[in-house]
Amino acid sequence: MIKIIAFVAFVSATASFNSQASLINEYGVTAYSQHNDGTYQGGKGSSSTAISDDYISLLGELQTDSYLPTLKAISTNGYGRLVSIQAFQYTGQSSLDLDLFVNLHGSSSGAGYYNGIRADVGIVDAGSSLMGYDEYYYGYDFATIFFEPAEGYGADSTSLFINQEQDVNKQDTLNISLVTNQYFYVVTQLTVRARDGGVSDAWNTLGMSFSDKSNLLSAVPSASNPPTSVPEPSTWAIFALSLVGFAARRKSK
């Protein structure tokens, strides 16, 4: 496997993370359920998505501190899946191998193909030019998204399964070798199936984290819309307090 990614750049004593605010408008998460008329919710431009009915519940959310998704799903009858696509750019000055840690937690009862939990995670190397995924990719499954895009090639992937197991964690590590200004995608899918009294519960959850969050930008395919540096909440708080202190000093003079 190859090493993946970093995201948050810490600058001096006041930490701020470099992020592309419009990432949420370009990439996101989608949900599909057989019991929801076979339609999709969310997709490109969605920072979160949810489907819930009597048989399947799906919830996908991008985390603001990493733009990696947290995916939750449970099925008591039928098939449902969540798909997520995010893009990143490495801005470090030297080549680097980085890890992406994946953890799938869940429980599954019932035997056979129609019962179980599956998580697929892949890194797509986009090289030095981020082209962007077309809208239709959000309606396809992991294999299509990972192996067929013209925007890059699959650098590393994993598939994790929970079948007839209770309260277990399945883990793996992906990695990618990065050079300055290299782009890549993280593609994720969580699938649940249940039938004949089986229950597939991955509500707690499919989650991921990077081994190193420095020198990474979330990215969008637009040269005219360069990445921006956005202070973290703690930075905003420090800035706000400094303004309050400044105002108080002026008032006391």
Give tens-digit pLDDT for 13-53. Answer: 222 223 333 334 457 899 999 877 777 899 887 889 999 98
d(CA 37, CA 128): 40
- For residue 17, the model assigns a pLDDT of 29
| pLDDT at 162 > cutoff 50 | yes
Higher pLDDT, 16 or 124: 124
What is the percentage of the chain residues whose pLDDT exceeds 90?
48
- For residue 141, the model assigns a pLDDT of 86
Per-residue b/e over 62-75, b at no fewer than 16 CB within 10 Å?
beeebbbbbbbbbb
CB 240 within 8 A of CB 19: no
| pLDDT at 7 > cutoff 80 | no
d(CA 21, CA 30): 19
Largest CA distance in the chain: 77
CB 88 within 8 A of CB 219: yes
CB 159 within 8 A of CB 118: yes
Say whether 224 sits in a helix, a strand or coil: coil
